[in-house]
Structure 1
C-alpha cells in the first residue's frame, strides 16, 4: 500500500517571487504535511493530524487552501512575505484570495491572475502552466481592453478564458479547460459586485488625440487609462489618434468624436485649423488645445473649449473633461 494516498500541488507567483505548495496525507503517520517551496527551496513545513470528524481528503484540501490564502494575504506577522512590485489594496487581495478559494477545487482550473493597466501580471495562482498558451492569453487581453464590458470570455484550442475588471483599474483573468466555468464565475461575481468595475454608464465618450509627437500621444492615452478609474459618470469608448493635420482631417471626415484634443503646432498645419474644421462640420464636438505655448491658445481661444498645458497632467485632463462634459 502506498504511503501517500492524497496530494495537492499548486504554484503561486507574487510579484517576482514564485512559490510551490505541496500538501500530502501520509498513512504511516496519519498526518497532513504541507511543504512550501520558494524559488525551488523548501522554506516551511506544516504538519498536523486531521481534526475530529475530518476525513483525510478534507484535511488535505483545507490545509492546502489555508496555506494558499495565507500566502495571498502576504503575511503580517513573523512569517511575513515580501511581495515584490505588488501594489494592491488589502480589499483587492482579500477578494482575490476568496475568489481563488471558490474556483481552485475544480479539476479543470488552470490559473488566475491579476493584471495591471499596463498588461503586467502582479498576482498569480497557477496549477497547470503547461496547459496555458500565453499568446492566446495576450490575444484575449488585447480584445478585452477594447471592450467596455464587465465580463468577457473566449475559447481557443480547448483553453477557456474569462476576464473581469476590478474597481481599482486592474483586470482578473482566469483560465480553465472546460467552458462550463462561466456559470460559476458569474455567480461568484454577482456576490462580489462591490469589488468590480461598474459597467460603462449611459454616457460613452469618444476621443481623438491629434499630436505629431508619438511620445506625447502615448502619454495622453495613458492619462486616459489613469483617470478612467476616477470618473463614474461616463467612460471612454474610443480613444483614437491622428499624427498630423492631414491625418486628423481625414479621420474627422469619416467619424465624429465627442472630444478632440489637439496640439496647436502640428508638422503640416495648425491645431486651430483642425478646431475650425470641427466647429464647422461637428459643432457639438468639444475641442481642447494641447500646447506648450499658452499665448497660442489665448490668440485663438474662440475656436477651443479649453486648454491643457504640456507636459500633460492626468488630473488636469480629468478636471478639464469634467468641466466641458458636465
Structure 2
C-alpha cells in the first residue's frame, strides 16, 4: 500500500485532542454589552434578542452582579436616553445615562474594566451617528460632538473609549480631546472596520437607534470591500488607536485575519446582534445545539485572529466554559 499520513493518531482520545488543541476560549476573552435605559424599575427584554435586556440604573446591579459572578472582567455600556435631539446632546452631558451607568458600575466593581461606546445614534432624533445638515451626515462638525462625548465618558470613569461612529478622523480628534482633558492614559478601542451590515437589526431594536431616513452607507463600509478595511485600520493606527474592532465578526473572519496580520495591536471581534439572534432562534426551534454552535462560532473568531470578542453570548459562554473545567 502506498504510504500515507495517519492524522487521526492525534484525534484518537479526548486527552490527546486536548493536548494538541491550537485555539482556546477563556472567559477573560469576552466583552459583555449592557444596555442602560433612563427610567425606574426597568428590565425590558429586547424582543429580537432573547436573554438581552434594557436595564434602568436602579436595577443595573442585578445584571452586573451576574456577569461579575461568572468572572466576566470587561463590560461595554450602551445608553438608551429618555430624550433625543438633532445633535444628540444627551450623549455628552455630565449626568447622561451612559455616564451614570459607568459611575455606578465602577463604584460597585472598581476592578471591572468598563468600556464606553462613543457614538451619537442612540441620542439623535434622526438616528444617525453624526450631525445631519441638508440630508448629509457632516463629518467634521460631528467630530466636535464625539470628542465632547468621549471626554464626558472618561470623566465618568470609563477605562476605555470605544468610538463606533465611522467618521473620518475620529480617532485623531478623540485622542487629542482626551489628551487635552488630562486623559492621555485612557486607551481608544476603535471600531476601525465597521461594515454597513444587515446583521445590526436587533441592536437597533435594543438601542432604539434606527435611522429615521436614509441609511449609513456613506460612512459605514461596503460589505464587498476587503482592502478598504486595511486602509481604515491603517488610518486609525496612525491616529493613535490602541485596539481595533472588526464588526461584524462571523461573515468577516477573513478581515479579522487580514487586520491581525497587518497590525500588532489587540484585535476585537464584534459578534453582533444579528449573529446572536439567528442562533437563539434556531436553538429555540430545536434546529441546532446552542452550546455547541456558540462555542464553535466564538472559537472561529479567535482562530481567525481575534484577541477579544464582544458578544451577547458572554454570560452563556462563561457558564459553559466553567462546566468544561
TM-score past 0.5 threshold = no
**Higher relative strand content:** 1
> Which protein, 1 or 2, shows the higher relative CO under an 8 Å CA cutoff with sep ≥ 6?
2
**Higher relative helix content:** 2
